[in-house]
Amino acid sequence: MSEIEAFYDIGVVMFRGISVFGTNGLKVLRALEELNGGAAISVGIILFDKLGLTVGRLDEGPPTGHSVTAFASGTWNGKTDDFTSISFNDR
């Protein structure tokens, strides 16, 4: 398996002590950005490459679009040319 995705309605999804869907989305993005050492975005997908995660815009509504995907190392290699840096610490 190279990736697994969970949506907001699955219930409790935890990553390193962070309740992804049970915590304010902006706080989750800030915490993931800090753990990853940065974040990148393209077409609403936020990439935390070092953590092996992507998320749907958890800071935007409605929650029906909120998701998190864990992926295997190398999955995004060579596929990030359209991504730009983003920071949630100033929001």
- Per-residue pLDDT averaged across 48-61, rounded? 92
Q: Using CA atoms, how far apart are residues 16 and 48, in angstroms rounded to an integer?
A: 14
Token match 């999804």: residue? 13
> If pLDDT is split at 50, 70 and 90, which confidence band does 65 have?
confident
Check if the beta carbon of residue 4 is closer than 8 Å to that of residue 54. no
| pLDDT attached to residue 6 | 93
pLDDT at 44 over 90: no
| pLDDT attached to residue 63 | 81
Provide the token pair at 60.
């935007």
Query: How distant, in Å, are the alpha carbons of 3, 23, 31, 75, 84 from that of 26?
Result: 24, 8, 9, 25, 18
